[in-house]
Chains A and B, each alone.
Chain A
Amino acid sequence: MIKTDALIIGAGPTGLFTAHQLKLIGLNCEIVDNLDKIGGQCIELYPDKPIYDIPAIPECTGEELTKNLIEQLKPFNIKFHLSERVDEVKKNNGHWNVKTNKGTEFNTPNVIIAGGVGSFEPRKFAPKECERFENKSILYSVKDKSIFKGKTISIFGGGDSALDWAIELSKDSKVNLIHRRDEFRGAQISVNKVNELNESGKIDLFTKYQLKSVNGTNKLENIEIMSDDKEIKKLKTDYVLGFFGLIMQLGPIAEWGLNIDKKTVAVDTEKFETNQKGIYAVGDICTYPGKLKLILSGFHEGALAARACFKLARPNEKYRFEFTTSSKTIKDRLGVKE
């Protein structure tokens, strides 16, 4: 059981800056995120898209913003728990017991939800019968590529994941690559490589096709794909891989007894506390009159929530407001030498 002054759920820009604010005022914290990397939507949805409304930064991409926020956290040693989703939040003697899907447990007086629109999950195939084969022969990520050796794999999607895996698996497997358009959004070099492999017969390319049905009794036997002109092709296949990007699901947050409306959590604007004492929500996931879903609002919300955490984490101490420009204590925490 890890004891910490505050646990932050979500390693997007708001979660990162909230961690900074907590550390500045002398509280420790740890961060959990379901993604395998730091940055949240900034890194998953728009790493290359420029953002123009971060105060004092005229232009930066999601990736640059994330890099700078991580840099800002460098003086502090913050533990990240990536690829873990918080499943349970339970009250325990005025504190919260928090448990992730990997079994990591925390005990903390403060839980700060900075979860954006929830956790990222892979987008799945439309036909319902796909569920029957999910995690067996229909997969949305590759954990062990050795299972594909000598088999027939049908890969769906038009982005880098689909192209990269088609190229990689074509070395030891028969690969069908199916995409709904004849344009790919992946890197040009990968598109060229796929076209080469298609010409040399290593990859069978089907563009303007989508999955229509999957068939098989106990194990997957074949799939049917349908073109824009309703032409149907049957493909024998052992495995199906779908790479349609990620979607955001509110997930277990819905079960923690919070006031939730339209996938957002209601908070007050003094502490950004939810209807549960010691649970705060900041960034895109919180709502209050006048809420703006901007990164800069998340920074403000995190700064205030951090101050509220102080009270519960240090009940016998008094919080004193200090500026980073003048406080010796804060400079020590930052490791600044004068």
Chain B
Amino acid sequence: MTKITYIQHNGKSHTINVDNGLTVMEGAVQNDIPGIDADCGGSMACATCHVYVKEDWFNKVPSKTEGEDDMLDQAYEPKSNSRLSCQIVVSDELEGLIVNLPEKQV
């Protein structure tokens, strides 16, 4: 179990324990955290699980694979610290990870 904090665009914060091996997206969906749609179910095909990874964490999370930036082009208000949360697999190293959710996904 790893502690992950999701901060909604309105500032509301949710800290939950996510099983290692799940993705940051799955952690949110399984715990009913609003703000992550994940329409394609985690196949990196839609950009509706877009999150902003806090600067000091950005270099610690597993880096992007080919295709993720292509999908992020289509996200709502992408920034330099944007990631698709379905591509971040939770592990002990991510204990305390904080992600901010965009105003909306579509």
Residues of A within 8 A of B (CB): 41, 45-46, 49, 117, 123, 126, 157-159, 179-181, 183, 185, 210, 228, 244-245, 247-249, 263, 284, 293
Contact = CB atoms under 8 A, between A and B. Distances in A.
Interface in B39-83: 39-41, 43, 45-48, 69-70, 73-74, 76-78, 80
Nearest to A162: B73
Contact of B39 (A117, A157, A179, A228): A117
Q: Interface SS of chain B: helix, strand, loop or mixed?
A: loop
Which are the 5 A-B pairs with shortest beta-carbon distances? Answer: A185-B70, A245-B74, A45-B45, A247-B106, A117-B39
B24 to A, nearest CB: 18
A158 B73 contact: yes
Q: Determine the interface band of chain B, counting residues with CB < 8 A from chain A.
A: 10 to 19
Contacts, number: 50
A245 B72 CA distance: 11
A179 B78 CA distance: 12
Given A45-B40, A228-B80, A247 B73 contact: no
Interface of B: 37, 39-41, 43, 45-48, 69-70, 73-74, 76-78, 80, 106
22 contacts: A45-B43, A45-B46, A46-B43, A123-B76, A123-B106, A126-B77, A158-B70, A158-B73, A179-B73, A181-B73, A185-B69, A185-B70, A185-B73, A210-B77, A247-B39, A247-B46, A247-B48, A247-B106, A248-B39, A263-B37, A284-B41, A293-B41
Contacts of B41: 284, 293
Contacts of A263: 37, 39
B73 A126 contact: no
A286 to B, nearest CB: 14
B74 A244 contact: yes
Contacts of B46: 45, 247-248
Nearest to B29: A262
Contacts of A293: 41
Contact of B76 (A46, A49, A126): A126
B82 to A, nearest CB: 10
A157 B41 CA distance: 24
Contacts of A228: 80
B69 A181 contact: yes
Nearest to B74: A245
Nearest to A250: B39
A159 B78 CA distance: 16
A179 to B, nearest CB: 8
B54 to A, nearest CB: 18
B102 to A, nearest CB: 9
